[in-house]
């Protein structure tokens, strides 16, 4: 029997018969080509495994950029009932609130291109990136606690941003249930020197131009215009978030015994949302999420300074900042009734439509901006949330290109020198902290982001607004 | 070398072998450091004693490597040599030797986010011990 059923050109159903213990169905958003790629790894099994968790509401979902992860597939979305459901640290992942932020400059491509090299050098100098680098701010424990509890508000009060920045960040840059006292000393040790660092892996900062507009009205509301320069920042909660996840995976493994929960993969460790362990995790996760929002805020500050210094124009408007690894309590309509559920997004982005109270007033009439970073040096997209996403995916969509090849395979394909040269021929300058970091992240290692975005657009769970093409890349 | 690096679509793993499970745990620790940094430049100036406890041997392995990852990412300690002095599935005590990380001196390779339980495998029979563990990068 086929392991999945094609519902339409963009939706594939994994029936409960796929494996024993599935309490709900799985649903993968993809086209045929992406399905062939998704089939190659453990994504199907992981979507089915998530469907065995108790108290899930609706289906176990996977977005078109899905690939094998740990416990949950990357690109997974699962909503849990607040009374009978569970929270899983693996359902958020190690990089809590890994996410993306977009800044819009008033400058046109031709104003920036002549000074691009100087701008990239300045950014590379001012923003710590790569492995083993400390941040420029070292926080004492009281300050770190403020970052964890208050998020970006701390940065604004400390001179790293403006009050208007807060309006354009998911949750206004602060998950209010955060509690720094539930974050371990170890997590704080890992985090105190890393605030305001890009990190390595797939994290990057790109100077891009708006290359195509698909929806004039929405693009205008977002402040995006043809050939204007924008900056995309992709990073997360660094060692602090990784340690919070590590700590609570252990707490949850112990908790499962107490609550009599059995799971099919240890990496799916979970506890009832209403349990003390569940609530503690959500508060610690919120603190790590606030750290990540603040991390992107500090990088924004130094980006503005670099633009000011090199181009004389530092007024970069924050378009939006979205989390793509997070769990949040949200109101959704389930079988005709509106109720609160806990939505896990593991490599997936919130994509709320217009008129939702969570959306900033500037975008209230058009919908929430959704930022989709492509692989290094390819292209990125700005989408907008839709009503259809509320009906089908708990207001969620894809988060990026999604990896297709291993680091080793990627590295074998091309040398760092050749990669830099190829990108230069296409008008893209690259500054990388390490050669291996560059080759491991070579664009061929990823799925085609345009295909991923076309699937979510055609499926209706978000709509294309603008396409962004890089001029310069800063890579960890 | 009794450890090797395994491929994974997004990340990588370590497979370590030894005459006993204890040795495989020692090798896995050195394997972890080799993922983070070029081992050749790491000296052995400092000794530390580490104790790790867990409910089962799988958890012991994850906690052991998580301990070493924390020592690097939280305290800046790079571990090059490992001697496990006491070993049972629920508790181990190890003497580790290494030095403090210094920007410029040490050539870092990858940031390891965490140690996972994904496809974790621990085997021991009369011919020896082996472990397989995947890292989130």
- Catalytic one among A242, A399, A408, A457? A399
Tell me whether A67 touches chain B (CB under 8 Å).
yes
Distance, CA of A136 to CA of A129 (rounded, Å): 11
Q: Give the gap in angstroms from C-alpha B74 to the nearest C-alpha of chain A.
A: 4
- Shortest CA gap B70–chain A (Å): 7
Looking at CA atoms only, how far is residue B48 from chain A in angstroms? 17
* Interface contact A249-B117, CB threshold 8 A: yes
Q: Cβ distance B18 to B26 under 8 Å?
A: yes
pLDDT (0 to 100) of residue B48: 97
State residue B96 phi and psi, 5-degree precision: -115, 145
Residue of A258, A377, A218, A400 whose CA lies nearest to A323: A400
CB of A141 within 8 Å of a chain B CB? The answer is no
Contacts of B8 in chain A (CB under 8 A): 68, 406
> What residues 21-60 of chain B have any CB closer than 8 A to a CB of chain A?
36-37, 55, 58-59
At B98, which helix (H) or strand (E)? Answer: strand B91-100
Q: Using a CB–CB cutoff of 8 Å, tell me whether A408 touches chain B.
A: yes
Looking at residue A406, its pLDDT comes to 82
Find all residues with CB under 8 Å of A168, minimum gap 6, and list them: A317, A318, A319, A320, A321, A360, A362
A31 and A64 Cβ atoms separated by less than 8 Å = yes
Nearest to B113 among A94, A133, A404 (CB): A94
Residue A239 in contact with residue B74, Cβ under 8 Å? yes
Which residue from B10, B36, B111 is facing A199, i.e. has the nearest CB?
A: B111
Three-class SS state of B109:
coil
Q: Does A409 touch chain B (CB under 8 A)?
A: yes
CA B18 to chain centre: 13
Rounded distance between C-alpha atoms, residue B102 and residue B42, angstroms: 10
Write the CB contacts of A237 (distance below 8 Å, at least 6 apart in sequence): A95, A96, A97, A98, A191, A244, A288, A289, A291, A292, A295
Specify whether A399 is catalytic: yes
In three-state secondary structure terms, B126 is: coil
Task: Say what the pLDDT of residue A320 is.
Answer: 98
pLDDT at A445: 86
**pLDDT under 50 in chain A at which residues?**
none
Lowest mean pLDDT among A212-216, B8-12, B48-52, B81-85: B8-12
Query: SS3 string of chain A?
Result: CCCCEEEECCEEEECHHHCCCCCCCEEEECCHHHHHHHCCCCHHHHHHHHCCCCCEEEEEEEEEEEECCCCCCEEEEEEEECCCCEEEHHHCCCCCCCEEEEEEEEEEHHHHHHHHHHHHHHHHHHCCCCCCCCCCCCCCHHHHHHHHHHCHHHHHHCCCCCHHHHHCEHHHHCCCCCCHHHCCHHHHHHHHCCCCCCCCCCCEEEEEEEEEECCHHHHHHHCCCCCEEEEEEEECCHHHHHHHHHHHHHHHHHHHHHHCCCCCCHHHCEEECCCHHHHHHHHHHHHHHHHHHHHHHHHHHHHHHHHHHHHCCCCCEEEEEEECEEEEEEEEEECCEEEEEEEEEECCEECCCCCCCCCCHHHCCCCCEEEECCCCCCCEEEEECCHHHHHHCCCEECCCCCECCCHHHHHHHCCHHHHHHHHHHCCCEEEECCHHHHHHCCHHHECCHHHHHHHHHHHCCCEEEEEEEEEEEEEC
Using the Cβ of A190 and the Cβ atoms of chain B, whether some distance falls under 8 Å is answered with yes
pLDDT of residue A467: 98
Q: Which residues in chain B have their CB less than 8 angstroms from residue A95's CB?
A: 113, 136
This complex has an ipTM of 0.95
Interchain CB contact of B63 with A (< 8 Å): yes
User: Is this structure's pTM higher than 0.95?
Assistant: yes
B9 contacts A406 by C-beta, under 8 angstroms: yes
Query: Do the beta carbons of residue A186 and residue B70 sit within 8 Å?
Result: yes
* B136–A94 CB contact, under 8 Å: yes
pLDDT score for B1: 53
Mean pLDDT along residues B52-71? 97
Please, what is the end-to-end C-alpha distance for chain A in angstroms?
A: 45
Residues of chain B contacting residue A183, judged by C-beta atoms under 8 Å apart = none
């Amino acid at each position: 029997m086929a392991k999945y059923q094609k519902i339409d050109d963009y939706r594939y159903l994994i029936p409960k018969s796929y494996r024993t213990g599935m309490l709900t169905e799985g649903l993968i958003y993809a086209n045929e080509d992406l399905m062939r790629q998704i089939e190659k790894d453990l994504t199907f099994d992981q979507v089915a495994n998530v469907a065995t968790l108790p108290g899930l509401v609706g289906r176990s979902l996977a977005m078109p950029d899905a690939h094998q992860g740990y416990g949950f597939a990357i690109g997974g979305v699962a909503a849990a009932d607040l009374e009978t459901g569970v929270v899983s640290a693996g359902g958020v992942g190690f990089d809590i609130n890994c996410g993306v932020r977009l800044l819009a400059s008033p400058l046109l491509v031709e104003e920036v291109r002549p000074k691009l090299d100087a701008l990239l050098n300045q950014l590379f100098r001012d923003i710590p990136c790569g492995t083993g680098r400390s941040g420029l701010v070292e926080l004492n424990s009281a300050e770190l606690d403020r970052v964890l509890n208050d998020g970006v508000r701390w940065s604004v009060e400390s001179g790293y941003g403006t009050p208007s920045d807060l309006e354009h960040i998911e949750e206004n840059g602060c998950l209010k249930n955060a509690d720094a006292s539930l974050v371990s000393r170890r997590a704080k040790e890992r985090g105190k020197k890393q605030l305001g660092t890009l990190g390595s892996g797939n994290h990057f900062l790109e100077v891009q131009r708006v290359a195509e507009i698909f929806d004039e009205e929405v693009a205008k509301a977002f402040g995006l215009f043809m050939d204007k320069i924008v900056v995309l920042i992709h990073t997360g909660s660094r060692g602090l978030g990784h340690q919070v996840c590590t700590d609570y995976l252990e707490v949850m493994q112990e908790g499962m015994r107490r609550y009599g929960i059995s799971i099919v993969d240890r990496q799916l460790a979970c506890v009832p949302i209403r349990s003390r362990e569940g609530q503690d995790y959500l508060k610690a996760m919120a603190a790590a999420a606030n750290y990540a929002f603040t991390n992107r805020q500090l990088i924004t500050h130094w980006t503005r300074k670099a633009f000011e210094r090199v181009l004389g124009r530092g007024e970069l408007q924050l378009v939006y900042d979205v989390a793509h690894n997070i769990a949040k309590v949200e109101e959704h309509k389930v079988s005709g009734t509106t109720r609160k559920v806990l939505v896990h997004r593991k490599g997936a982005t919130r994509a709320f439509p217009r008129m939702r109270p969570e959306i900033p007033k500037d975008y209230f009439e058009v919908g929430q901006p959704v930022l989709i970073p492509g692989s290094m040096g390819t292209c990125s997209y700005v989408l907008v949330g839709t009503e259809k996403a509320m009906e089908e995916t708990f207001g969620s969509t894809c988060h990026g290109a999604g990896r297709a090849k291993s680091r080793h395979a990627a590295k074998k394909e091309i040398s760092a020198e050749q990669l830099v040269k190829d990108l230069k021929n296409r008008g893209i300058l690259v500054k990388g902290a390490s050669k291996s970091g560059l080759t491991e992240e070579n664009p061929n290692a990823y799925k085609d982001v345009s295909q991923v975005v076309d699937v979510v657009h055609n499926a209706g769970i978000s709509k294309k607004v603008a396409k962004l093409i890089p001029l310069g890349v800063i890579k960890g | 070398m009794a450890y090797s690096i395994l491929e994974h679509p997004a990340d990588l793993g370590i497979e370590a072998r030894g005459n006993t499970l204890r040795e495989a745990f020692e090798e896995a620790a050195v394997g972890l450091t080799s993922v983070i940094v070029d081992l050749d430049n790491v000296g052995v100036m400092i000794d530390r004693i580490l104790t790790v406890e867990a409910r089962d041997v799988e958890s012991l392995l994850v906690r052991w490597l998580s301990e070493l990852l924390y020592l690097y990412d939280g305290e800046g300690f790079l571990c090059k040599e490992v001697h496990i002095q006491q070993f049972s599935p629920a508790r181990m005590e190890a003497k580790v030797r290494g030095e403090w990380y210094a920007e410029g001196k040490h050539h870092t390779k990858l940031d390891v986010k965490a140690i996972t339980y994904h496809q974790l495998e621990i085997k021991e029979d009369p011919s020896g011990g082996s472990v397989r563990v995947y890292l989130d990068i």
